[in-house]
Structure 1
Amino acid sequence: MGDFGLTFGWRTALLLTLSVQMLAFAVALSTQDVNRTANRLLAAFLLVATGVVTPYTIGFAGAYDAWKGLTFAPFALPLFLAPLLYGYTYALIEGRLPARWRWHLAPGFAQLGYMAIAFLLPFDTKMAWADVVDGPWVSPVFSIGVLLGLVAYSAAALRLLRRFRAGLADERSDDERYAARWLGRILAAMLVTTVFWAGWQGWHALSGFDYFEFFGLHMAVGVIGVLLGVEGWRHAGLRFRRGPVTVRFSDPEDARGSAAAEPDWPAIAADYAGRTREAGWWREPELSLPRLARYLGTNTGRLSRAINTGLGVNFSVFVNGLRAEAVAQALTARPSADLLDLAFEMGFASKASFNRAFLARYGTAPSRYRQEARSRVSDHEFEHAAPNLRRADA
C-alpha cells in the first residue's frame, strides 16, 4: 500500500450510501414475478449505476493511490445506462424486450471487453496505455457515446411514454394510475443531467481535469438511481401493459349500418351512458373499455366510437365524470362527509384523479363545492327557522 492510506470522507460516505440503496432495490426488483422483464432490466440499470459511481466512491477514499493496479478495473460501464433505461420503459409498457435487444447492449459489452483487457495488461504497460492512448483517445470516444446514447434513448423513452398515455384515456378510467409520470420526470432529470455532463466534458477538455469537480455529477447519477429504484419498487406489481382495443364492428347489423349510413352516435352514447349510470358500473375503480363493453353487450370499437363521437369525450373523462356527479350528489346530501372517502367510494383510484375530474366536470375544486353545499344547507335551515322566529317575537 506504500505511503498511501485510505480515508473515509464525506464524499465517499454519500456515494456509498446511494450505492447501498441502489443495490438493495436491485436485489428486491430482481425477485418480482409481475412485470418480470421490466423489473429485471431496472435491476440491471441500478447495478450499472452503482458501478458508474464506484470509481469515485473508492477514489475519494484514496483507493487508486493506494492500489494503482485498480486502473481500468471494469466498475464503470456507462454505455449500458441509456439502453437499459429505454429497455425498462419499453418493457414496462409492452411487457417484452425491444426488437433486436442484443444490439442495443452491444456498445456496453464492447466497453466491458475493452476495460477487462486493459485491466489485465501488465502494470507498466497498463499505465503507459492509460496515459498515451486511453486518456487522449479512447475515453473521449466512450464519453461521446455515453452522452449521445443518453440523449437519444431518454428522448425515445419519453416519446414512448407520451404515446402510451395518449391511448390510456381511451381505454381505462384509472388512466392516471398508469400514466407513469414519475418515470417521465426521472427521464427528464436524466436528460438535464446529460446536458450538464456534456458541459462538464467540454469545460474539462479546454481547462483540464479536476477529479473533485465530478463529485456533483456522480451524486446526480446516484440520486436518479435511488429515485428510480424507489418508484420502480412502488410500481413493481402494477400491470402497465394495455390490451389491444378492437376498433372494428363485430356483428352484421353494425357492418351494414356502417356501410349504409352513419349511426346516430349521440343516441347510442346516451343509451350507453344511461345504462352505465343506472347499473353503477362506474363505481369499479379499474373499469376499462373492454369490461364496460362486455357489460353493455357490445364491442370496444362501437363503445369507443359512441363515447368519442356521441359525447365528445374519451373513456376516462366519461367514467370519471359519472363518478364526479355521484360525489357532488353525495356532498349535496351530506356536506360534512369526508371528500376522499366519498371519492374512493365512487371509484376514484387517487386524490389527484378525483380533483382533476371534479374540476373538469364542475369548474371548481371539490373543497370549494363542499363549502358552497354547506352554505346552501345553512341558508335553507335559516329560511325554515325564520317564520318560527318571527312568531316567537310576536
Structure 2
Amino acid sequence: MEAWEVLLVVLLCAGAIQGITFGIILWRSQGPHALANRFLAAILFFFSYRLIVETMKIFELGRYDFWYHVLLEYNWVYGPLLYLFVLSYVRPKFKLERIHLLHFLPVIIEVIWSFFIKSQNFYWDGTRESLSWLGYWGYVVWMHYPTMFVISATLIIIYARKSVRVLNEALNDPQIRIIPERVVWIKRVIQVLLVFTALYLIGIGIDYFFFSYNSNLFYGHPVFVGMAAITYWMGLEGFSRRNEDAFRSNATVSDKNLDQLQQVADKITTAMEEQQLYKDPELSVKKLADLLDTKSYLITKALNVVLKTKFSDFVNGYRIEAVKTLLADPKNEQFTLLSLAFDAGFNSKASFNRAVKKITGKSPSALK
C-alpha cells in the first residue's frame, strides 16, 4: 500500500469512528431535542457506513465479492434525514408520524433496486441473453451512468431547500419562541451539505464525461475525504449542542394569549415613542409595568414573544437612536459623546459601550 493510500485510510477511518462515536452519544441523549438528535445521529451513521465501505474498497473488498452483495447503497437517505432533523428541531411539538415515513420511500426503492441489480451477477455468463431485459438495462443504467448519484444529489438539494423554508418559518412564527442564535449552526449544516453536494455533482460530471468512471484519484478520494471532514465536524457540532434548548421557556402561545401580548407590546412601543421613557436611567421592568398599569411578567413575555427581544436590548435600542439624533443636531457639537449618551438614558460609560457594541456591532465612536 502506498503512502497516500495509508493516509487516505487514516482520514476515512477517523471520520467514520468520529461519526459512530458521536452518533451513539446523540442517539442516547435525553436533551430538549432528543428526537432531532437521533435524526442527526442517523446522518452520522450513514456517512460513517459510506466511509467504511470506501475504506473496504481500498483493501479490494466489496468489488464483486461477498461484500459487494451485502453492502447496499443508501445514497438517497441523506436528504430526508436532513429535513426531518431540521423539522423536529424547530417544531416544539413535533412527533414522528406515519406520513413522515413517506419521505423514506425513495430509500426503500433504492435498496430494493440496488439488491436487484447486484443479484444480476448470479445470472450473468458474459452474454446479454443471460439477463432479462429489465436486468440488463437496469444494470447498465445503474452501473454505467451516474443515475443513483444524480438522484441522491437532487434529493439533498430539494430537502435542503425545504429545511431552509421550515427554519425560516419557525424563526418568523410568533408562537414559536425560538432563539435565533441557537439555530445558526443548523444553517451551517445545511449550507455545508449543499456546497458538498454541488462539488459532488461537478466531480461526478467530470468523472463520467472525461474519465469514464476511472478517476478515483481525481474526484472519488477527495469526495470521501470531504465526507470524512464533514462527518467529523458535524459530530462535534451536534455533540456540543446536544443539551442546548433552542426555545425560550413556554415556547408555544395560544391565540388568546398572543392577542393579549400584542396589546401589551403596542402599549410599550407607544410609551417609549411618545413619552420617551427610555430617557429614565433607572427604568426597569417593574417600573415600566407600574407606569403602564400591567403585570411585570406580561411586559417580559410581550417583549420576548411579540417583539422578540429582551428588555435591556429594547430600551437601549431607543437610547442609541436618541444618541444618533442628538449627534445630528449641530447645537450639540460642543458636547462629548458620553454626555449625550447620559442625556439619552444611559447611566454609565460601560453600559453605553456594551449596548452599542451588542446592538450595532460597531464601536461607540462609529455613531458619529
Fold conserved (TM > 0.5)?
A: yes
| Cα deviation, residue 22, structure 1 | 0.5
Alignment of 1:199-218 (within 5 A): 199-207=202-210, 208-209=212-213, 210-212=215-217, 213-218=219-224
In structure 2, the CA distance between the partners of 1:233 and 1:192, relative to structure 1 (3 Å rule), is same
Q: Distance in 2 between the 1:145 and 1:52 partners?
A: 17
- Aligned with residue 19 of structure 1, among 16, 21, 40: 16
Q: One-letter code of the match for 2:166?
A: L
Q: Distance in 1 between the 2:287 and 2:164 partners?
A: 34
In structure 2, the CA distance between the partners of 1:151 and 1:271, relative to structure 1 (3 Å rule), is same
2:237 alignment partner, SS class: helix
| Cα deviation, residue 120, structure 1 | 6.0
What is the percentage of aligned positions where both structures have the same residue? Answer: 13
Alignment of 1:2-81 (within 5 A): 9-34=6-31, 35-64=33-62, 68-81=65-78
In structure 2, the CA distance between the partners of 1:13 and 1:126, relative to structure 1 (3 Å rule), is farther
In structure 2, the CA distance between the partners of 1:135 and 1:330, relative to structure 1 (3 Å rule), is farther
The corresponding residue for 1:190 is 193
| Cα deviation, residue 101, structure 1 | 1.0
In structure 2, the CA distance between the partners of 1:127 and 1:156, relative to structure 1 (3 Å rule), is farther
Does structure 1 retain, via aligned residues, the 8 Å contact 2:73–2:114?
Answer: no
The corresponding residue for 1:285 is none
The corresponding residue for 2:107 is 108
Q: One-letter code of the match for 1:11?
A: L
1:87 partnered with 2:76: no
Provide, for residues 193-246 of structure 1, a one-character-per-residue CA deviation record: whole Å limited to 9, x for no partner.
111222222223322112332111122222222222211111111222462344
Q: Distance in 2 between the 1:14 and 1:278 partners?
A: 55
Does structure 2 retain, via aligned residues, the 8 Å contact 1:22–1:50?
Answer: yes
* Root-mean-square deviation over aligned CA pairs: 4.6
In structure 2, the CA distance between the partners of 1:281 and 1:298, relative to structure 1 (3 Å rule), is closer
Q: Distance in 1 between the 2:259 and 2:231 partners?
A: 51
1:159 partnered with 2:165: yes
Q: One-letter code of the match for 1:244?
A: T
1:71 alignment partner, SS class: helix
The corresponding residue for 1:142 is 148
Does structure 1 retain, via aligned residues, the 8 Å contact 2:69–2:115?
Answer: yes
Aligned length: 315
- Aligned with residue 244 of structure 1, among 248, 252, 258: 252
Q: One-letter code of the match for 2:196?
A: T
| Cα deviation, residue 98, structure 1 | 6.3
The corresponding residue for 2:330 is none
| Cα deviation, residue 10, structure 1 | 1.6
Q: One-letter code of the match for 2:106?
A: P
Does structure 2 retain, via aligned residues, the 8 Å contact 1:12–1:61?
Answer: no
Does structure 2 retain, via aligned residues, the 8 Å contact 1:51–1:75?
Answer: no
Which structure's relative contact order is higher, taking Cα pairs within 8 Å and 6+ residues apart?
2
| Cα deviation, residue 63, structure 1 | 2.2
Q: Distance in 2 between the 1:264 and 1:115 partners?
A: 62
Q: Distance in 2 between the 1:232 and 1:127 partners?
A: 49
In structure 2, the CA distance between the partners of 1:138 and 1:246, relative to structure 1 (3 Å rule), is same
TM-score scaled by length of structure 1: 0.64
The corresponding residue for 1:226 is 232
Does structure 1 retain, via aligned residues, the 8 Å contact 2:177–2:247?
Answer: no
